[in-house]
A and B are shown apart, each in its own frame.
Chain A
């Protein structure tokens, strides 16, 4: 790791002030991606602002027809939250399948979506549930938030405060895991709710998480695995690496979508 200044503010206001003062700061939430990145000297921030100790960012609240989750809430907390389990079991399942138990004790919702790893799980939940991302500056729709591989709509100095997940009528996440890393080779989140039908795919796209309009239309007409069984995603634009070719991953999208719809029926 290169040297950096380290700050652990207690409030969001202090964190914003510290971000404003620093030359080239990086926000540290749970650190399960950032610390390995720093260890490999792939990043050289002047300041690391640790928001992991800000209590106002660590909460889960069920209100009305949605669950609000603070940005610094750990995956293990989401996975075992009675509120999330009751109103949005697919989201609890997804959080419980991230990484391994020790990673889930540290990793946070806000950290995951701010990083927008193309194989991360939470981006699929946000896009698949029409989530609203609240930051220190504004509200960003999930559709507008994820802009490319490791890229988001967040601006310098902007901190995610919470994410609002509306309750789905039906939802499920199915993930074909890389057997070593447990990252998604392909993960598909399907849902039905006031927003209509959504199908969000992670792990596959070269630009990160994406929706499959053709599957959404088919499921809106008939919510059944058969409705998506013959819908193929083109291999163009799909990741290809030693774990699987683009064609293999494209095929997995249909398989995982079918399984997710079956699980949510």
Chain B
């Protein structure tokens, strides 16, 4: 066991954990932040995407210890002062979800995508969603929502 400390959604977070603890386990089980989901647990589906030092990563494929000292942002930290993030708003507006299980990862991926590529077209969005799977196959509205959010955020 060893103590791992990082900042999660702007607040200090630390716990005494086994080195083999995954970042997603740390977030869900130690911090009780269950908005980050585990879908496939094999780095395919992207339901577990969070940001570490501003970059989207799969938290099921990273040890918590690798995030020592890092700034972690999860879906719970996206809304500011009670206002939904523009990407969250766009997902609601365009019904970018069906069952909603993949939604946290989709939104975290979309926020990272818009940061990296403010000018988006449909083809780019679809290509960039390679690492996120919606098993309801609700991609059409997810793509619409991301395009609308990127317009809104320009």
Residues in chain A within 8 A of chain B (CB atoms): 1-6, 8, 28, 31-32, 35-36, 38-39, 48, 50, 52, 76, 99-103, 105-106, 180-182
Contacts and interface: CB of A to CB of B under 8 A. Distances in A.
Interface stretch (B27-35, B51-59, B92-100, B139-147): B51-59
Given A35-B63, A52-B66, A106-B61, 10 more contacts: A1-B20, A2-B20, A6-B19, A31-B66, A36-B42, A50-B63, A102-B49, A103-B43, A106-B58, A181-B44
Contacts, number: 77
9 contacts: A4-B20, A8-B65, A8-B68, A32-B43, A35-B63, A99-B131, A103-B43, A103-B58, A180-B44
Contacts of A5: 19
B22 to A, nearest CB: 8
A105 B20 contact: no
Given A31-B66, A35-B63, A6 B113 contact: no
Contact of B63 (A2, A31, A180): A31
A35 B65 CA distance: 12
Contacts of B44: 180-181
Nearest to A47: B19
A101 B61 contact: no
Contact of A182 (B42, B63, B130): B130
B18 interface: yes
B81 interface: no
A101 B65 CA distance: 22
B128 interface: yes
A50 B65 contact: yes
A6 B18 CA distance: 9
A15 to B, nearest CB: 15
Contacts of A48: 19, 63
Contacts of B66: 8, 28, 31, 50, 52
B20 A101 contact: no
A74 to B, nearest CB: 8
B112 interface: yes
Contacts of B49: 102
A3 B56 contact: no
A76 B55 contact: yes
Contacts of A32: 43, 61
Interface in B51-93: 55-58, 61-63, 65-66, 68
Nearest to A74: B55
B68 to A, nearest CB: 7
Nearest to A105: B55
B2 interface: yes
Interface in B121-148: 128, 130-132
Nearest to B105: A102
Which of A35, A48, A181 has the most CB atoms of chain B within a 10 A radius of its CB? A35
B65 A105 contact: no
A102 B41 contact: no
A78 to B, nearest CB: 14
Contact of B112 (A4, A28, A39, A101): A101
Closest 5 CB pairs of A and B: A100-B131, A6-B19, A1-B20, A100-B130, A105-B55
B36 interface: no
B57 A3 contact: no
B113 to A, nearest CB: 7
Contact of A102 (B42, B56, B65, B68): B56
A73 to B, nearest CB: 14
Contact of B57 (A4, A28, A102): A102
Nearest to A2: B20
A157 to B, nearest CB: 21
A3 B18 CA distance: 8
B104 interface: no
Contacts of B113: 101
